[in-house]
């Protein structure tokens, strides 16, 4: 027994040392138990004991049917840093972010920028060659599809069938007759807003909220009411309940599965409460579920739509984050608002490209689709962990970061006095694309925050960009007094 204990402790120390020295980095997969047993000439039970010891130290974690992976470092007493959402009195405000957003987008899209800005997956992670083949196969027989395209024939039936099939495990599957295929998730959100609001209406949004959602409100002349949002648990249903008692809310626009930028995940019980509350008070809900398939846990979280018993939730999504952005293919399951949404689609853009719909349907039907999603989830989880570890290493004391449970963006909160827009300007001059936090709030909150895209495989170039961002942040005048504090912490950033 002493010899066996010595052997597993030696192996645990060896692997632990490689993790400490960053030879093995957060998200890296360890060799299998059998492989290590064979290479180290140890018994399987000895290797298992070593891995259990590393789990107890918090250095690795087991993932069902996947193996053992290096964990991201966590801070001591991190739970004490987790804010609790408090209902607050806010007022609806007009949205005015388009000019700033376009400046950020324009600077970030310059050639050779380090791509930490736009929330897009790297091309090398996408099944581009497979889609090329499908376009070729379907294009050779596409005459009937091109002949059929019109403002009156919006959906390709086979794509609708595949969307319904993929929803069968959600607790409440989508209905084929409620689906409208669109030219992206953004168009789906826009159609829903047009269907249930008029200029001057108030729309409840998460705080922080995705800036393109806010831009839609601005373009439609709608006011935004920011609802406090917990960085791990999502929008505060209690705060929404109070707000909806005090004023008329025309609609809710939100993300329950992996909010952008926090990547928060609303618990099922809160989704159930939210669905019941909004139905009772006659508040249509527009749900963006574009990140729903990119979960890091053992199973896909159900969308809010699955808890809707009245047809009050319009669930929007697309294939931009999970298949390829350039398809520009989205959809909405519009519930009882289907007729109004379909009318808006018919009046504005008509049918979405039928050939592209056919290509997407063929791909979703194949086994390659599920394999690709499993690959993406593993890749994004690893990349988020690597980005988190780098921010912890390079950013100034007092920095806090989100703890994404899915998706592929990271929210970073600088110490008090930090300026995300100033950091954006410095980063842009240095060839690094980021998004400043104030774009995620119509009320001007989150000025000391920024969002980082983790959609690209980790590389020395990306690590160097994070190191330089950390140096820029540390050089801001308000950071100097923090020099003696502990290093940056893994935390759940406070929702302003």
Characterize 296-305 residue by residue with b for buried, 16 or more Cβ atoms within 10 angstroms of its Cβ, and e for exposed. Answer: beeebbbbbb
- The residue whose two tokens read 């949004």 is 205
Cis, peptide link before residue 208, omega less than 30° from 0: yes
pLDDT band at 81 (very low <50, low <70, confident <90, very high): very low
Residue 21 has pLDDT above 80, yes or no: no
pLDDT mean over 258-273: 96
pLDDT band at 61 (very low <50, low <70, confident <90, very high): confident
Burial class of residue 144 (count of CB atoms within 10 Å of its CB; 0-12, 13-18, 19+): exposed
And the tokens for 42? 């140890």
pLDDT value, residue 147: 66
pLDDT value, residue 454: 98
pLDDT value, residue 83: 42
pLDDT mean over 415-428: 94
Least confident of 46-60, 94-108, 128-142: 46-60
pTM, to two decimals: 0.83
pLDDT mean over 65-90: 54
Q: What is the pLDDT of residues 291-304, one digit of tens each?
A: 999 999 889 999 99
Q: What is the pLDDT of residues 158-187, one digit of tens each?
A: 999 999 999 998 988 999 999 999 999 999
- The residue whose two tokens read 């049917």 is 65
Q: What is the pLDDT of residues 375-419, one digit of tens each?
A: 999 999 999 999 999 999 999 988 999 999 999 999 999 998 899
Q: Which residue has the higher pLDDT, 309 or 23?
A: 309
Query: What is the residue-averaged pLDDT of the chain?
Result: 88
pLDDT value, residue 159: 96
Residue 75 has pLDDT above 50, yes or no: no
Full DSSP string of 245-290: HHS---EEEE-SBS-TTT--B--HHHHHHHHHHHHHTT--EEEE-T
Helices (H), 349-482: 354-365, 367-394, 420-429, 460-474
Q: Are 24 and 35 in contact (CB under 8 A)?
A: no
The full set of domains in the chain, from first to last, is: 2-70 (1.10.10.10), 78-122+371-490 (3.90.1150.10), 126-368 (3.40.640.10)
pLDDT value, residue 148: 58
pLDDT mean over 117-130: 95
């Amino acid at each position: 027994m002493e010899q066996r204990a010595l052997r597993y402790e030696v192996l645990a120390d060896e692997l632990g040392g490689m993790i400490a020295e960053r030879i093995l980095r957060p998200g890296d997969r360890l060799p299998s138990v059998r492989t290590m047993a064979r290479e180290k000439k140890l018994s399987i039970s000895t290797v298992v004991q070593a891995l259990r010891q590393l789990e107890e130290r918090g250095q690795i974690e087991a993932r069902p049917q996947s193996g053992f992976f290096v964990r991201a470092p966590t801070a001591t007493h991190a739970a004490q840093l987790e804010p609790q959402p408090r209902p607050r009195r806010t007022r609806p405000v007009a949205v005015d972010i388009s000019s700033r957003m376009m400046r950020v987008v324009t600077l970030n899209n310059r050639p050779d920028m380090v791509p930490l800005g736009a929330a897009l997956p790297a091309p090398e992670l996408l099944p581009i060659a497979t889609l090329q083949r499908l376009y070729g196969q379907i294009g050779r027989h596409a005459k009937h599809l091109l002949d059929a395209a019109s403002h009156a024939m919006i959906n390709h039936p086979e794509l609708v069938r595949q969307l319904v099939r993929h929803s069968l495990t959600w607790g409440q599957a989508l209905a084929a007759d409620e689906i409208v295929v669109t030219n992206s998730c953004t168009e789906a959100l826009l159609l829903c807003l047009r269907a249930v609001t008029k200029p001057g209406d108030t729309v409840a949004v998460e705080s922080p909220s995705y800036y393109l959602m806010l831009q839609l409100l601005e373009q439609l002349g709608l006011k935004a009411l920011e609802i406090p949002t917990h960085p791990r648990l999502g929008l505060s249903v209690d705060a929404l309940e109070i707000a909806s008692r005090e004023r008329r809310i025309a609609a809710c626009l939100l993300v329950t599965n992996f909010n952008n930028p926090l990547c928060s995940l609303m618990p099922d019980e809160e989704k159930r409460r939210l669905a019941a509350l909004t139905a009772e008070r006659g508040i249509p809900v527009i749900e963006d579920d574009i990140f729903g398939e990119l979960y890091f846990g053992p199973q896909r979280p159900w969308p809010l739509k699955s808890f809707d018993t009245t047809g009050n939730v319009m669930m929007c999504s697309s294939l931009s984050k999970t298949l390829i952005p350039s398809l520009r293919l989205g959809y909405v399951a519009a519930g009882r608002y289907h007729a109004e949404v379909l009318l808006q689609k018919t009046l504005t853009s008509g049918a979405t490209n039928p050939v592209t719909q056919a290509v997407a349907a063929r791909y979703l039907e194949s086994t390659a689709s599920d394999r690709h999603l499993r690959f993406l989830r593993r890749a994004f989880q690893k990349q988020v962990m690597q980005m988190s570890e780098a921010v912890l290493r390079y950013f100034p004391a007092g920095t806090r970061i989100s703890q994404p449970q899915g998706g592929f963006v990271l929210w970073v909160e600088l110490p008090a006095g930090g300026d995300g827009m100033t950091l954006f300007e410095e980063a842009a001059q240095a060839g690094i694309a980021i998004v400043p936090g104030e774009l995620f709030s119509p009320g001007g909150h989150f000025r000391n925050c920024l969002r980082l895209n983790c959609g690209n495989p980790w590389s020395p170039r990306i690590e160097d960009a994070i190191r330089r961002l950390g140096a820029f942040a540390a050089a801001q005048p308000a950071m100097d007094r923090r020099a003696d504090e502990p290093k940056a912490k893994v935390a759940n950033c406070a929702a302003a």
